Structures are given as C-alpha cells and as structure tokens.
Structure 1
Amino acid sequence: MALIILAHPNFDKSFANKTIIEALENSKLDLEIRNIHDLYPDFKINAKAEQEALLRHQTIVFQYPFYWYSMPAILKQWFDIVFEYQFAYGSKGDKLKNKNFVPSFTVGSSESSYTALGFQHFRVYEFCKHLEQTAYHTQMNYIDPIYFHGTSLAAGYTPDSIMTNAKHHAQKLIATLSQLQ
C-alpha cells in the first residue's frame, strides 16, 4: 500500500495534479491519499497523525506542483514537523528506514527552459538534491522523481495538453508504484 502526500495549495483549480490524483484513485492500487491542504489549512500539522500514516505504508509519494524551484510551503512545513528527531533520524530515528521516497511533481514551464542555456539555467533534477538528501538522511530508498513540464496556463499551455500529459505522468507513477509493491 502506498501513501500519497498531496500538497497543492489550489487543488480544485489544478488541471495536472487533479488529473494525476483522479487516475491514481481509479487505478487498482491500494492507496491512501492525504491532501495536507485540506487536512491542515492553518498549517498546524499533526505530527503524530502523519507519522502514523507513514508507518502504515512502504512507499511514500510526494505529489505537488514545482513552486519556485522547490515544493509548496505546506509540504516544507510538513517535512519540518513530521520528520522529527528520533522518528526520522537520530540514534533511534529509523522509523522510515527502507521505505520508498517517491517525488512526483508537475513543472509549469517548458523542458527547454530547464537547461544550462535555458531561462531557468539548471535542469530540474539539480533542484531535487534536497529531496535526495532527505531520503538519504532518513535511510529511505530514493526513487528518481517523476515529473513533466508544461502545466502553466500562463505559459500558453492548454487544459487539454496539460491533462493529456498528466494522464501519461499518472501511468508512469502507477507503473512505478506497481513495481514497488
């Protein structure tokens, strides 16, 4: 069984993340989806409840839109509160050891903008080192991120193209989760 930590501040208006979550819900996978914006609109995250959810699952997927080269604020807050000393790390902090850590996110701008010569200057995977280090520090198995570009209406992408790409993304994620179970 996999745990999906959904961190989208405006999920109801999302084309990409909403399509991905709907595909996951309609899959045959045994999943628990926790929309942390719905659970904690005040950002007052219940560490014990979240830790209990983590303990129930072997695979943890972090589903979110890529914001300012990182994650939305609530997901950063979630990590700060939930991955606490002696739970996730420390001399007795091995509760996440050997669990799978799967980043899954959507990127607003084009793939060509995330190159050494592109507008963003770096490739997306270079912005993911903090995720890899978090998995390493907590003794989790880091799975390479699953993501796709072109989810911003402001950048000229259409809802149809976004949803088509999101369906492909969801299928990759479902295949990955199937292999990890």
Structure 2
Amino acid sequence: MALIILAHPNIEVSLANKTIIEELQKEKNLNIEVRNIAKMYPDFNIDVQEEQQALLRHQTVVFQYPFYWYSLPAILKHWFDEVFLYQFAYGSKGDKLKGKNFVPSFTVGSSEESYTALGFQHFRVLEFCKSLEQTAYHSQMKYVDPIYFHGTSLAAGYTEEEIRNKAKTHAGRLIELLRSCD
C-alpha cells in the first residue's frame, strides 16, 4: 500500500496533477491512500500525529506536487518541517521511516529546454532535488529518483490535450513503480 502526499495548493485548477491523481485512483488493485494536505490543512496547522501515523501505515510514500520556483510548494515544505521530527524521522531513536520508499513525483510548468544550458548558468531539474534526496537519506528512507515531466502550463502554450496525455503517461509510470515496490 502506498501513501500519496498530494501537495498542490489548488488541485481543482490543476490539469496535470489532478489528472495524475484521478488516473491513480481509477487503477484497479492499486492500494493507495491520498492525503491532500493543502485541502486538509488550509491554515497550515498540520496534525503531526495523524500524518506520522499515515507514514507508518505505508511502505512507499509518493510526494506529488507542482514544481514551484525550483522547489516545493510551501505546504509541502511546512509538512516536512512539522512531520519529520527528531526521534521520529531522525535521531538516536528516529528510525520510524527506515527502509520506506521515498518517491518525489512532480510536474514542471515550463519546457525541458528552459532547464538546459543556453550559454549561461542553468541547472537541471534533478539538481533542485538534492534537498529531497538528503531528507530521505537523513531519515533512512530509500530515495527513488524523481518522476516528473515538463510542459504543464497552459500559459506556456501547451494544450489541455497535451497536458492530459503527459499526465496519463506519468501516472502510468508511477503505477508501474508502485507495483514494483509492493
């Protein structure tokens, strides 16, 4: 069984992230729990005990979110700060997450080309994920390389059909990964 920490600040207006979650929920024999933390905690007052219990129930944890300004949405960063506590996620007795799978899964609004060298300093998307990798390492979780795709912004000229198709492909990759983690 996998836990999906959905961290889109406004999932109802999201085409890509919403499609991914819908595809995951439609999949038969895929045992997932989706926690929409932006909806659950609009005031950012996270129920730490409840979130820690959810983590304990699952072997695989997927963090589903839009890539915002080269980072996580504020609600997800806050969730980590509140939930991955000393003596729970790390510390001399903080081994509660040891051996669990840590899977970043996100969408990137802009094109892939906007993350490649264009004659001046640019960073590739995976370079912005180092803090996630370190978080997994520090909490003794198994870091799984991120699953992501570019081109999710209507404002950048992508069509709804293109975005939905990419999101469905992404969901398929995520489903395969979740099945292999069981």
What is the TM-score with the length of structure 1 in the denominator?
0.98
Instruction: Tell me by how many angstroms 1:119 deviates.
Output: 8.2
- The answer to whether residue 94 in structure 2 is matched with residue 81 in structure 1 is no
State the alpha-carbon separation in 2 of the partners of residues 117 and 140 from structure 1: 35
Instruction: Tell me by how many angstroms 1:116 deviates.
Output: 2.3
- The answer to whether residue 18 in structure 2 is matched with residue 18 in structure 1 is yes
Q: Which amino acid aligns with 1:15?
A: L
Q: Which amino acid aligns with 1:85?
A: Y
Q: Which amino acid aligns with 1:75?
A: L
Matches within 5 A, 1:2-151: 2-28=2-28, 29-117=30-118, 121-151=122-152
Structure 1 gaps of 5+ residues are none
Map Cα deviations across residues 76-107 of structure 1 (whole Å, 9 max, x no partner): 00000000000000000000000000000000
Secondary structure (helix, strand or coil) at the match of 1:154 reads helix
State the alpha-carbon separation in 2 of the partners of residues 27 and 124 from structure 1: 28
Q: Which amino acid aligns with 1:17?
A: N
What is the TM-score with the length of structure 2 in the denominator?
0.97
Alignment check: 8 A CA contact 1:113 1:119 kept: no
Aligned length: 181
State the alpha-carbon separation in 1 of the partners of residues 122 and 69 from structure 2: 13
Alignment check: 8 A CA contact 1:112 1:118 kept: no
Instruction: Tell me by how many angstroms 1:162 deviates.
Output: 0.4
Map Cα deviations across residues 114-133 of structure 1 (whole Å, 9 max, x no partner): 11227881110000000000
The 3 A distance-change label for structure 1 pair 111 and 26 is same
* Shift >3 Å, 4+ stretches: none
Structure 2 gaps of 5+ residues are none
State the alpha-carbon separation in 2 of the partners of residues 11 and 103 from structure 1: 17
State the alpha-carbon separation in 2 of the partners of residues 51 and 18 from structure 1: 24
Q: Which amino acid aligns with 1:16?
A: A
39-48 vs 110-119, which moves further: 110-119
Secondary structure (helix, strand or coil) at the match of 2:77 reads helix
Instruction: Tell me by how many angstroms 1:154 deviates.
Output: 1.2
136-145 vs 115-124, which moves further: 115-124
